[in-house]
A = this chain, B = another copy of it.
Amino acid sequence: MKQFDHVSVVKKANIYFDGKVTSRTVIFPDGSQKTLGIMLPGEYEFGTAAAETMEILAGEMTVLLPGHTDWLTYRSGDSFQVPAESRFKLKVSVVADYCCSYDANK
C-alpha cells in the first residue's frame, strides 16, 4: 500500500526533540489514527499510551524494547511492536522514515 486513501490529515506537525523527530497524524474513516514520521540521527526515548506498531519505511533504527536487554536493528520493510503504557529507547544512525499505528484494543 503506497498511500492511504479516504483519510484526514492534521495540518500541524507533531514536533519532538527540537524537530529531530517529527510526525503527521493521519485519521482513518473508522476513527483510528496512524502517524507518519521522520527521525533524524540521534538517541531518543519515548513512552507509549496505546500499544504501537512501528513500520520502517526507509532508513533504520536500533531499538531497546521494554523488558529486553538486547538492542535490535530494524530496517526498511521491518516492523516492531511496543506494548501499551511502556517506554522504549531508539538509536537512529541514518534518517528513518516510519509509520506508527496505534492499537485501540490493547
Contact = CB atoms under 8 A, between A and B. Distances in A.
**How many copies of the polypeptide does the oligomer hold?**
2
Contacts of A12: 2, 57-58, 97
A11 interface: yes
A30 interface: no
B2 A57 contact: no
A68 interface: no
Interface in A1-22: 1-13, 15, 18-20, 22
A95 interface: yes
Interface of A: 1-13, 15, 18-20, 22, 24, 26-27, 36, 38, 40, 57-58, 95, 97, 99
